[in-house]
Structure 1
Amino acid sequence: MEKQSVASSPSFLTMIKTAILNPSSSSDTGKGKSKCSTNRLTHGFHLVEGKSGHDMEDYHVAEYKIKKNHELGLFAIFDGHLGDRVPTYLKHNLFNNILDEPSFWKDPEMAIKNAYRATDKLILQNSTKLGPGGSTAVTAIVIDGKALWVANIGDSRAVLCERGCANQLTVDHEPYNERRRIEKQGGFVITLPGDVPRVNGQLAVARAFGDQSLKAHLSSEPDVRHVPIDSTIEFVILASDGLWKVMKNQEAVDLVKSVRDPQAAAKRLTMEALARKSKDDISCIVIRFGC
């Protein structure tokens, strides 16, 4: 890095203000743990900006909340496209919308599906403010360390490690697999030479939040899975497609199953994806159970 001359260097006060208003990228990694006395869990996350020529468009959530005397672990990765406004909105609103659903404690699956649809509707209604872009999502809610609810739209993925074996909990919503629905709604799926299938030749996923210009042919309906947590469940990996494009599920599990620190595990996965020449943004959360 070229050194600045004393005359042109910013004042100390300016440097402090800049640091506050523009925090360093060190905030893209971290870890935490539940405070529940039984069935405790720990988590770690690591996010790396890709080399695709645009600013970082991945966002994550990793936090714990107490609701109705239950401890909830809330985890998500939002992989944006055409800007970061939609994933930023999701980061601040999606879980609140899920937990505000009256049916959440009686029927979490229905509450999650309702909240996904309602959130997408709000994004579209505010498209003048949020822009034309969209976002995929993978979300995980852990209730009292005993129950895991995973949902997704798009190609961000959740992979569970059970007795050392990988189990994909989510569905990759690829356009080719939903071609019949898309065509029935008036759209089309095309694959140009050297490229992947795309909705109307544009988007490489069949489900997403936002994307107003394609919404007539996209779905915001999530796939939802429930997993009871027992002693056979070791950890779960949430990651954007920047990881899964270059790594198979079992490869990812094998790479980190001996790493007890979930932050170190998340970092190892992202660094391996970079080593395998992934150029997309890479975001990863590892949640360990019984720690």
Structure 2
Amino acid sequence: MQIRAEKQNNPVADEVSALVAVTRPIIAGIYHSIGRDMLTTLRREDIPLKLLGKIRSQGDGDTGIAFEYAVHDAVVNSVPIVVERVADALGRCRIYQGDPASILFAIEKSGSQQLISTEIDLITAESRVLSGERGQPVKLKAQLNRLAAAFRRANTRAQLPQSIRGLWKADLFLGSTEPDHWVGTTVKINRSHLEAARGLRVAIVPSKAGVSDAIKKDEQKNLIICPMPHDGSFMQVFYEGWRIVQALCETNFKMPKEVDLPSPIDREVARVYIERREFPVPDVLEATKKFAQPELLVADEASAANVPFGATVEPETSTIITPFPRMTS
């Protein structure tokens, strides 16, 4: 298995392409959050798009999971407003070199036993996770199994090094492959849900009306708060994409009523998925990549990719670490 490295090639051209780009990771997040107990006669990779709404377990965490995937995907695909703000936050954690990269730390989220086909080669033996405390930073690769165990069992958390005792709460590892340094990152759609934990350094949240969206440190929580801007920017597109996907899930990916999607642009985006409702979700995610603005991303030809975005394999281990970082040019 190899990883496809992609970088932004062109600016955003139109609203439809931008919404397709953001709805893809939202659909992927819903798809991967389906617990194995919800799958009876179907293998995960065979779930047709039209059944996604039926078999998903709706809950308060749906938007949060979609937000995690959208932020991760935006870093991977070098969405300028997101990458610029992430780079600023990483600089405050003393990670200055290289382009920002993201590793999705997805272990049994929402009851799901297996989430994404994985390859951890980009987490090397020298990858360090910066905790902000004095002393030699901990090597990340050596702690992966312990982090997975800590996520599942409270009695194993004391086995983690003290400086990263709460790192199992991370949603992403943000950093750079150039210095091979990473920081535990929490992603919350509701900033009131932010929790302090050792090992967590960055918090990504939506901007809030009446509150500055400047990147700054929360001294009490010891977190660099990195708000994602709203009006005419990332959060506005995310919420619009989320509404489209919600409406499609409720109609089993048939065209929703006009009152549910009154915008012609939203209905055009919906049509991209409706035309493919009979196909398995991983195939749809791969097929629609080209509609997320053609030539927005250019693949690094040096790294062939034989695992499409959204593909699933069922390895024996339940430890899921998913790196899709953007490689430096």
TM-score between the two structures when normalised by the length of structure 2: 0.29
Q: Say which structure is richer in strand.
A: 1
Q: Say which structure is richer in helix.
A: 2
Question: Greater CA radius of gyration, 1 or 2?
Answer: 1
Bigger relative contact order, structure 1 or 2 (CA pairs below 8 A, ≥6 apart):
2
